[in-house]
Amino acid sequence: WSSKDFPWTKQLEVNNKKVFGNHSFRPNQREIINATMSGCDVFVLMPTGGGKSLTYQLPALICPGITLVISPLVSLIQDQIMHLLQANISAAYLSANMEWTEQQEIFRELNSEYCNYKLLYVTPEKIAKSDALLRNLESLHARELLARIVIDEAHCVSQWGHDFRPDYQGLGILKQKFPNTPVLALTATATASVKEDVVQALGLVNCIVFRQSFNRPNLRYSVLPKTKKCLEDVDKFIRENHFDECGIIYCLSRMDCEKVAEKLQEFGHKSAFYHGNMDPAQRAFVQKQWSKDEINIICATVAFGMGINKPDVRFVIHHSLPKSIEGYHQECGRAGRDGLRSSCILYYSYSDYIRVKHMISQGAIEQNSMTYGYSRSNMTNSGRILETNTENLLRMVSYCENDVDCRRLLQLAHFGEKFDSSTCQKTCDNCLKNTSFIEKDVTEIAKQLVELVKLTGQKVSSSHILEVYRGSLSQLVKKHRHDTLSFHGAGKRLAKGEASRVLHHLVVEDFLVEEVKKSDFYGSVSSILKVNDPKVHNLLLGGQRIILRFPSSIKASKLAKYEF
């Protein structure tokens, strides 16, 4: 596909320079354009900032007819249209909250003999809900004026993905109605299973796949323990590494966003919050202040992000556990789009896992989709979706608990990409601190912990189990007479953190299950550990060994936190 002998090659190169002002093509751009212009269905995986828009805007300009682009966010669409109009490319969009007369005008143009538009952008719910649009597309198609269908952020089609949107599922109708019109599906994030799901749901045939590495060499990753002094740590980190530079702090709840922003202001940073509970004008105001550098730090839920194009974001901090590795990778990806060195720090505590899990089961996690007004009921977290979300979250826990393997390797493995960790060049915390690791058989510890969960009647929390295992004589332990249990104190001699690593591993691997119990008015959540009998049975019978890797030097793991 990289050939320069296609009939359109000359036109491509001329227009890339003249209209878009680019001197050359970025990796895969020429290939993707050649494939889609040859009439093939194409699936593109390209990291954020890779230059996906050009791969359909340039063909749209050259090909006769109109290119239909489905994109999830009105703000993103408006941004694109503005750029296109500036480049003298005729483009329009249709969205649900548009005046009827305005829509009529666009439909009239679509029906005119030589439709002037080169690109028509629509939101997915338009395809799902507007018969008028479908009729117009049919008419364009009948007049051979429907050149191509582009599906941006295509991972939203998949329930396995981290950003599922119900209206995307209906897009399969396009291939049914227009089987011969080439489809170009684009995303910056998809695992192998998400890709399969998308290809199937859209009905793509003999689809050609382009993917490039998702590694972002200029980003530095680390996971730090989240303590009560987390915000002091954040302040110190920013002061020492990125003072007066731009950054995003992702928080779990709206209240967290506001609290964190306020605290950072007290520390003397120019910060503001951003979440789905603000009215659109407020949000637009904050976004504007941010892009003009009047505010440095945005404390936001994941509602902030899609369509953010600021090139000089120097740090992305996760104040609590992200929902999935995919989501985490994409959120981090908003840092350093200009290619300069930037930091990604995640503050992790196991108790956040319980909190996030609870919020997921309540459907209370803010989604990107908030920005364009999904009703909650559309996003009910039931059955398969809930299961997927919980599994994604557990993978994230496992990522955080891992203090041995290269962070890049772990992230990229999730996208099915092999990574040679020697090329990380110590740009993640684990590569920086670990010269080597040891493998340790922790089966006996695991068995004892499981026994303790059983002995305490599957009624207590993971931290209580750890206390008993360490031999605590706290009031609570005594009150329940847990100091008389046979494994009370059995883990006394273990290195700090070892027992909790094993216990959390048992949860991640589904031997034990955290059952989130209740939340009080202030949103605090308690949970109890239960035993997953079939899996545990085999373990207790000795049918399975559990091996964990630990940094070989404990000292090394205490290396200065702010090495970057």
Binding site for ligand ADP (CB under 6 A): 22, 24-26, 29, 46, 48-54
Q: What are phi and psi of 131, to 5 degrees?
A: -65, -35
Tell how strand 208-211 and strand 42-45 pair up: parallel
How many residues sit in the footprint of Zn ion (CB under 5 A)?
A: 4
- Least separation in angstroms between residue 398's CB and Zn ion is 16
CA distances from 326 to 130, 214, 348, 432 (A): 32, 11, 17, 23
Rounded Cα–Cα distance for residues 20 and 427 (Å): 35
* Residue 314 binds which entry of Zn ion, ligand ADP, none, CB below 5-8 Å type-dependent: none
- Least separation in angstroms between residue 19's CB and ligand ADP is 12
In this chain, which of 424, 450, 502, 512 binds Zn ion, going by CB under 5 A?
A: 424
* Residue 159 binds which entry of Zn ion, ligand ADP, none, CB below 5-8 Å type-dependent: none
* Residue 551 binds which entry of ligand ADP, Zn ion, none, CB below 5-8 Å type-dependent: none
Helix, strand, coil % over all residues of the chain, rounded to 5:
45, 15, 40
Q: Which sign does the torsion angle of CA 494, 497, 501, 503 carry?
A: positive
User: By CB under 5 A, is residue 428 in contact with Zn ion?
Assistant: yes
Two structure tokens written together for 68: 């239909």
* Residue 189 binds which entry of Zn ion, ligand ADP, none, CB below 5-8 Å type-dependent: none
Which one, 95 or 342, has the nearer CB to Zn ion? 342
DSSP H helical segments within 38-114, as ranges? 54-62, 74-86, 100-111
- Least separation in angstroms between residue 221's CB and Zn ion is 7
Rounded Cα–Cα distance for residues 541 and 531 (Å): 15
* Residue 424 binds which entry of ligand ADP, Zn ion, none, CB below 5-8 Å type-dependent: Zn ion
Do the Cβ atoms of 388 and 396 come closer than 8 Å? no
Which one, 49 or 523, has the nearer CB to ligand ADP? 49
Which one, 179 or 339, has the nearer CB to ligand ADP? 339
- Least separation in angstroms between residue 419's CB and Zn ion is 9
Which one, 302 or 424, has the nearer CB to Zn ion? 424
- Least separation in angstroms between residue 54's CB and ligand ADP is 4
Tell how strand 246-250 and strand 313-318 pair up: parallel
CA distances from 452 to 220, 444, 479, 509, 537 (A): 39, 12, 16, 18, 14
Region 528-547 residues binding Zn ion, contact defined as CB under 5 A? none
Which one, 277 or 421, has the nearer CB to Zn ion? 421
| 384-413 footprint of Zn ion as x/- string (CB under 5 A) | ----------------------x-------
CA distances from 330 to 26, 105, 187 (A): 20, 37, 11
- DSSP-based three-state secondary structure for 557: helix
Two structure tokens written together for 101: 């007369």
Do the Cβ atoms of 313 and 248 come closer than 8 Å? yes
Amino acid at 520: D
* Residue 53 binds which entry of ligand ADP, Zn ion, none, CB below 5-8 Å type-dependent: ligand ADP
Which one, 22 or 241, has the nearer CB to ligand ADP? 22
Which one, 84 or 424, has the nearer CB to ligand ADP? 84
- Least separation in angstroms between residue 425's CB and Zn ion is 8
* Residue 428 binds which entry of Zn ion, ligand ADP, none, CB below 5-8 Å type-dependent: Zn ion
Which one, 54 or 120, has the nearer CB to ligand ADP? 54
List, as one string, the DSSP characters of 331-361.
HHTTS-TTSS-EEEEEEE-HHHHHHHHHHHH
Do the Cβ atoms of 338 and 363 come closer than 8 Å? no
Q: Which sign does the torsion angle of CA 551, 552, 557, 563 carry?
A: negative
Rounded Cα–Cα distance for residues 346 and 266 (Å): 22
Rounded Cα–Cα distance for residues 160 and 389 (Å): 8
- Least separation in angstroms between residue 211's CB and ligand ADP is 13
- Least separation in angstroms between residue 460's CB and ligand ADP is 47
* Residue 406 binds which entry of ligand ADP, Zn ion, none, CB below 5-8 Å type-dependent: Zn ion
- Least separation in angstroms between residue 127's CB and ligand ADP is 21
Which one, 95 or 427, has the nearer CB to Zn ion? 427
- Least separation in angstroms between residue 423's CB and Zn ion is 9
Which one, 27 or 268, has the nearer CB to ligand ADP? 27
Tell how strand 437-441 and strand 547-551 pair up: antiparallel
Which one, 292 or 555, has the nearer CB to ligand ADP? 292
Which one, 53 or 139, has the nearer CB to ligand ADP? 53
Counting runs of H as helices and runs of E as strands, what totals does the chain give?
Answer: 23, 17
* Residue 446 binds which entry of Zn ion, ligand ADP, none, CB below 5-8 Å type-dependent: none
* Residue 564 binds which entry of ligand ADP, Zn ion, none, CB below 5-8 Å type-dependent: none
* Residue 297 binds which entry of Zn ion, ligand ADP, none, CB below 5-8 Å type-dependent: none
List, as one string, the DSSP characters of 458-525.
S-S-HHHHHHHHHT---HHHHHTTGGGSTTTTTTTTSPTTHHHHHHHHHHHTTSEEEEEEEE-TT--E
Task: Tell me which stretch binds Zn ion (CB under 5 A): 250-258, 346-354, 430-438, 442-450.
Answer: 430-438
- Least separation in angstroms between residue 75's CB and ligand ADP is 14
* Residue 250 binds which entry of Zn ion, ligand ADP, none, CB below 5-8 Å type-dependent: none
* Residue 46 binds which entry of ligand ADP, Zn ion, none, CB below 5-8 Å type-dependent: ligand ADP
- Least separation in angstroms between residue 50's CB and ligand ADP is 4
**First CA to last CA distance, the chain:** 41
CB neighbour class for 561 (10 Å; exposed up to 12, middle 13-18, buried from 19): middle
The residues of the shown chain that bind Zn ion, judged by CB under 5 A, are 406, 424, 428, 431
